[in-house]
Amino acid sequence: MTPTHHIDPLIPQAALRPPDEVMRLDRMGAFFPTRLSFMRTLIRRLSEEKAVVSRPVWEINDAGYGHAVYSLSLSGRIYSLVAFSTALPEDKRTDRVIAEAWDSSYVLFDGIPSNEDITRLQQNTPKQEAGRFKPQDLILSRANKSVRLFEHVVECLAAGKQPDQSLLLSIGYLMRTTAVYGNGKFGIADRSRISDRPGLQGPFQAEMLSVWLTRGFTFDLVEHVARSRSPETFVGLDRDSKRFLGIGNATGLGMAPFLVSHPTLINNWMLVRETALARVRAIPTAEATVVQAIRQLMDRATQHIKQWNVADTVQMAKIEQLRTEFATVVELMTDDWLAAPNPWDRLIKDVSSLSIECQELVVALVLEPHGSLIDGLTDCMASDEIPRLAPAMPLEKLKAILLENYGWALKVDLSLREETRLFWYVSEEKLEPRLGERYEEAGAEIEMPFDICRQVQDLLKDLENLPASTSVAELLLQHPQYRQIVRRIQCTEKYPYSEIRDNLIAGNCLPINMLRCKLSFFGASKFDPKSDRWTRINMYQGAPLFDEVQEKDADDWWLPVSGWTS
């Protein structure tokens, strides 16, 4: 099947990389942020609109506790971050989702909050899941301090010094979020409230806005506490240091099922990314300005991966291989090599023998200087469409789609215990997705339906015994249990990138790959896996500050490097 969506006859386009290549967990787990990522899209829009952030409320005491409100206008509407900073006993401090108290908590509010709104939010926001919210509350989140860095920065600024750059580099954020909730959770607004609003139509734009405003709050807070501690000697945090600090995040399994349960959305993300690459690959010659830009970007990428160090031995080995391989890519791209026809297509082909991590870094690299060609595609990344069943479809057609798009699932030998070793479930204590060991733990009988391979193989067996001309409606009359898998299979006909093409219950399934894929679309970098099931990341590292977003180069922050400013 040849995916044909997003083809604009006026824009030349190479062939898309097929879903069998792209939708594999090992490749998805090697994605890097690109200029199509959601944080980049938001910052571009804020920059185009010359957005101005105001701080109408600052009720924070000398110790750094209280509340603040930040407001800005985005595409004609005002949104406000209401931030609460609270004292947190050390024995209550944990990044786990099971935590019940945090250093700070936030609501992105639709409009300007009244005093009554702030009072209501003050009573509920610090409680997070235990609070109750209203449809004016768009996003709910919380963050804990990096105690080491926050206190170090306070001490330094109070003493009139800048913080230790090596500590900034190794941590990279003053606070890290442990959850950012949207779409109706705990009574906040459903996505449908904002899905048609300019500025928030794209995926996760409200969440990204909330996190960017939160980042600004962390700078104000750390400076406020330092100034209060020693007003005479206080100095502000220098601009370069602020620019390098993002917002940390600990992300676990809760994020992984999203990619399975939103097939049309994940298709659109992937399809846009692949279409952008196909457009770039079709460029016949590299313009001088682009060559100059790509050389600067290669320098930056080299520095970025040099500064990317993690404790995880598997990921660190990949990073070291990436450093070596990317150096060969840089060497390869001489002036003569770049001057020859179809440079970007040749580049993608030439790196295909290197590690997937290097291949995907090069994909992100070649997209970066081609904004005018590809940025418009980001308008196609949202989807609120629910996959619909096609009951009239003859079974011969259903079978053909299955054989075309699920060959990967049919190859799995389900008689091997290793291929069914894991099961996904919802935990009783926090209602969060978890992974269990099927042959060692209880609960597999009520697993989440992520056993796609097994469902596909069972369905195919029954399809073999039914007349080809029979309709899907007749099949479901006899076998209603196939309703979901039939819908998924039919969905792949129109949305070829809607299914992860790997066995999600195999013993060797690494959920960390799903997390990195989704987080790369957010625009996160510095992936720091802490196990095969959760990772730390950094969001908005290198992004413009509140007073920089209006500047011309506000979009130039792909792969941030310590000590670098655009």
Token pair, residue 413, equals: 């030998």
Kindly report the backbone phi and psi dihedral angles of residue 106, in degrees, each rounded to the nearest multiple of 5, phi listed first: -145, 150
253 binds another protein (CB under 8 A): yes
Token pair 């007749």 in the structure block, residue: 474
Which residues in 39-58 contact another protein (CB under 8 A)? none
CB of 486 to another protein, least distance (A): 8
Selected from 58, 65, 186, 258, the binder of another protein by CB under 8 A is 186
Answer yes or no: are the C-beta atoms of 501 and 404 closer than 8 Å.
Answer: no
d(CA 203, CA 214): 19
d(CA 315, CA 547): 36
Instruction: Give the helix ranges, DSSP H, for 283-382.
Output: 288-306, 313-332, 335-339, 343-350, 356-367, 371-374
401 binds another protein (CB under 8 A): no
CB of 417 to another protein, least distance (A): 18
Q: How many residues bind another protein (CB under 8 A)?
A: 69
Position 322, amino acid: L
Tell me the window of 37-45, 298-306, 384-392, 499-507 that interacts with another protein (CB under 8 A): 384-392
CB neighbour class for 438 (10 Å; exposed up to 12, middle 13-18, buried from 19) = middle
**77 has which bridge partners?**
74
Residues 6+ away with beta carbon under 8 Å from 535 = 250, 251, 512, 515, 516, 519, 527, 528, 529
Answer yes or no: are the C-beta atoms of 318 and 355 closer than 8 Å.
Answer: yes
Selected from 431, 439, 508, 547, the binder of another protein by CB under 8 A is 431
481 binds another protein (CB under 8 A): yes
191 binds another protein (CB under 8 A): yes
Selected from 24, 397, 438, 533, the binder of another protein by CB under 8 A is 533
CB of 464 to another protein, least distance (A): 21
452 binds another protein (CB under 8 A): no
The smaller minimum CB distance to another protein, of residues 239 and 388, is found at: 388
187 binds another protein (CB under 8 A): yes
425 binds another protein (CB under 8 A): yes
d(CA 500, CA 29): 12
CB of 490 to another protein, least distance (A): 12
How many residues would you count in the chain?
A: 566
CA-nearest of 32, 178, 182, 106 to 534 is 178
Tell me the window of 54-62, 207-215, 403-411, 475-483 that interacts with another protein (CB under 8 A): 475-483
Selected from 146, 218, 538, 541, the binder of another protein by CB under 8 A is 146
CB of 193 to another protein, least distance (A): 7
Selected from 483, 508, 547, 563, the binder of another protein by CB under 8 A is 483
The dihedral through the CA atoms of 254, 256, 262, 267 has a sign that is: positive
Selected from 254, 295, 438, 457, the binder of another protein by CB under 8 A is 254
d(CA 498, CA 65): 45
Tell me the window of 66-74, 273-281, 364-372, 424-432 that interacts with another protein (CB under 8 A): 424-432
Which residues in 283-342 contact another protein (CB under 8 A)? none
Contact code string over 232-251 relative to another protein, x by CB under 8 A: ------------------xx
CB of 286 to another protein, least distance (A): 42
Token pair, residue 331, equals: 């060497």
The smaller minimum CB distance to another protein, of residues 528 and 548, is found at: 528
Which residues in 74-113 contact another protein (CB under 8 A)? 90, 93-97
205 binds another protein (CB under 8 A): no
CB of 247 to another protein, least distance (A): 16
Answer yes or no: are the C-beta atoms of 558 and 298 closer than 8 Å.
Answer: no
The smaller minimum CB distance to another protein, of residues 413 and 445, is found at: 445
Residues 6+ away with beta carbon under 8 Å from 470 = 394, 395
| Triad 540, 543, 546: Cα angle to 5° | 105
Residues 6+ away with beta carbon under 8 Å from 169 = 244, 307, 562
386 binds another protein (CB under 8 A): yes
144 binds another protein (CB under 8 A): yes
Selected from 472, 504, 519, 549, the binder of another protein by CB under 8 A is 472
Position 137, amino acid: D
188 binds another protein (CB under 8 A): yes
Kindly report the backbone phi and psi dihedral angles of residue 387, in degrees, each rounded to the nearest multiple of 5, phi listed first: -55, 130
443 binds another protein (CB under 8 A): yes
The dihedral through the CA atoms of 509, 359, 312, 522 has a sign that is: negative
Selected from 323, 399, 438, 487, the binder of another protein by CB under 8 A is 487
Token pair 């860095």 in the structure block, residue: 149
Q: Which residues bind another protein (CB under 8 A)?
A: 90, 93-97, 135, 144, 146-148, 178, 183-193, 250-254, 386, 388-389, 391-392, 425-432, 434-437, 441-443, 446, 449, 471-474, 476-477, 480-487, 530-534
